[in-house]
Amino acid sequence: MQKSLNQVHLYPDGNAFYLKNKLAEKLGLSSANLILGNGSNEIIEFVGHALIAPESEVVVSQYCFAVYPIVTHLFGGKLVTVPAKAYGHDLEECWRL
């Protein structure tokens, strides 16, 4: 703690520059190929920014993760809910849509 006191006033690096560079080096990737977030909700929101336009259809199972409908609504997408089959995803029904 004593060692870190001289940096406590600094704002954390939101892009995780050093971590991304180390991970990229270890994985043999460019750091531009890595996206880090504060949990899965933030990553799902990033996907929403990239892929959901107003009126885009987002197909989910009736038992989907609660964030999917929220992010779909956030970007003006149309949520299409497929009833579950034996409490699981009915992939055959998804393909019929």
- Residue-wise pLDDT tens digits, 27-78: 999 999 999 988 999 999 999 999 999 999 999 988 899 999 999 999 999 9
Q: What is the reported pLDDT for 23?
A: 96
pTM of the model: 0.72
CA 36 – CA 14 distance, rounded (Å): 9
- Residue-wise pLDDT tens digits, 75-93: 999 999 988 888 888 878 7
Q: In this structure, what token pair is assigned to residue 46? A: 């990033």
- 97 has a pLDDT exceeding 70: no
